[in-house]
Amino acid sequence: MNSCLLVPVVVLLFFSAVNGQGNGAVRLNVNGESLPTYTQGVVEVYYNSEWGTICDLDAYGSFGSIPSVVCQQLGYTGGYSGSTSSYLSTSPVIYDVSCSSEYLVILQCTYFSSPPSTCGSTDNVEVTCYSTRIWDSPYTGMVRLRNGYYSGQGMVQVYCNGQWGVVCYSGSFDSYAATTVCTQLGYNDQSGYSHTPNTGTAWLDDVNCYDESCLSQCSGGSCPSSSVYCSSAANVTCSYSTSSSRYGSTRYTCDGDGGLILTAGAIVGIIFGALVAFFICVVLIITIPICVCCCLGIGIGAAAGGTKRTTVAYSNI
């Protein structure tokens, strides 16, 4: 091969390796083709260096919360199960998956690897995602990745002061900052970070992270009152390490500035707590004066009795 042609090929291979998908990435496959724009299809997961499907042996094909998690990982607000299909022959990589609807990445769920031979193409998990995006209702400090080919990959943007803007690729943006960004998105690791030219709005230019779960918890990670300038934006590729003890964030972990999230359970808990507190206050208001009076009476009686006994004792001397 001509040495002049060898350099571009090596550079291309290098960037393909750096910007490739991370472990735990998901995509939707329709008739053997996967595109980032697909909102429905058979779910494929990049697991241990290979793409494969999720096997679900549930005869009813409900898939639990898997559709919600997969669609949230792809940036949608949720989704629902489709009918199992036989048009994709890709082998499964995980099976018997159980998820919480608040998870953001499929590998946050419990699952088994090495699916049994009984898993067939008709057992593939297929989902349909809602058309609404998670970032259509953003909170202050929310992060997202843009212009990446795979889920968990792209330019880092943060939502501040009612507008999306990039996180600058400054000297302080390192592997720790990249890991924190990925953790906020539900992953627990990063497999690469780089930079890309920026001409738009920028919010953060001096982020220093160590072991935080949310970018806003890092030094310099809180939203400023005004935008900053930077010519390069940070890019990250997120991954989910199955050997790491670190946990990815859930859907509401970092929503500390965007308003209080009140679930039905939280509301019931608040009402119950208020009733208990009210009952205790009423009991205390009624019983404290009685207890005080009783204590005073006992004290006075004891004092009087004690004085009398003392007098008798001295009179016998």
Q: What is the pLDDT of residue 283?
A: 53
Positive or negative, the Cα torsion across 291, 295, 298, 304?
Answer: negative
- What's the token pair of residue 257? 């500035």
> Is residue 143 located within the same domain as residue 198?
yes
- What's the token pair of residue 9? 């090929």
Q: How confident is residue 276, by pLDDT bands cut at 50, 70 and 90?
A: low
- 95 in any annotated domain: yes
> Is residue 35 located within the same domain as residue 66?
yes
Cβ neighbours of residue 52 under 8 Å, at least 6 residues apart? 44, 45, 90, 91, 92, 93, 94
Report helix, strand or coil for 146.
strand
Q: Is the pLDDT of residue 302 over 60?
A: no
Distance, in Å, from the CA atom of 153 to the CA atom of 182, rounded to the nearest integer, reads 9
Report helix, strand or coil for 54.
strand
Q: Is the pLDDT of residue 6 over 70?
A: no
Distance, in Å, from the CA atom of 263 to the CA atom of 128, rounded to the nearest integer, reads 25
Q: Is the pLDDT of residue 14 over 50?
A: no
> Is residue 126 located within the same domain as residue 64?
yes
* CATH code of 126's domain: 3.10.250.10
Distance, in Å, from the CA atom of 61 to the CA atom of 57, rounded to the nearest integer, reads 8
> Is residue 190 located within the same domain as residue 130?
no
Among the residue ranges 13-27, 60-74, 278-292, the one predicted with the least confidence is 278-292
- 316 in any annotated domain: no
At 92-134, the pLDDT tens digits run 999 999 999 999 999 999 999 988 888 888 888 999 999 999 9
Among the residue ranges 23-37, 138-152, 202-216, 287-301, the one predicted with the least confidence is 287-301
Domain boundary among 119, 134, 149: 134
- 20 in any annotated domain: yes
Query: Are the C-beta atoms of 182 and 188 separated by less than 8 Å?
Result: yes
> Is residue 122 located within the same domain as residue 166?
no
Domain boundary among 134, 156, 172: 134
Distance, in Å, from the CA atom of 298 to the CA atom of 293, rounded to the nearest integer, reads 9
Which domain, by its residues, includes 34?
3-134
Helices (H), the chain: 3-18, 66-73, 175-184, 264-315
> Is residue 127 located within the same domain as residue 161?
no
Report helix, strand or coil for 313.
helix
**Total structural domains within the chain:** 3
DSSP annotation of 131: S
> Is residue 115 located within the same domain as residue 204?
no
Mean pLDDT of the chain: 80
Distance, in Å, from the CA atom of 153 to the CA atom of 238, rounded to the nearest integer, reads 6
Specify the pairing of strand 50-55 against strand 40-47: antiparallel
Q: Is the pLDDT of residue 59 over 60?
A: no
Domain boundary among 109, 134, 159: 134
> Is residue 87 located within the same domain as residue 114?
yes
> Is residue 15 located within the same domain as residue 34?
yes
Report helix, strand or coil for 79.
strand
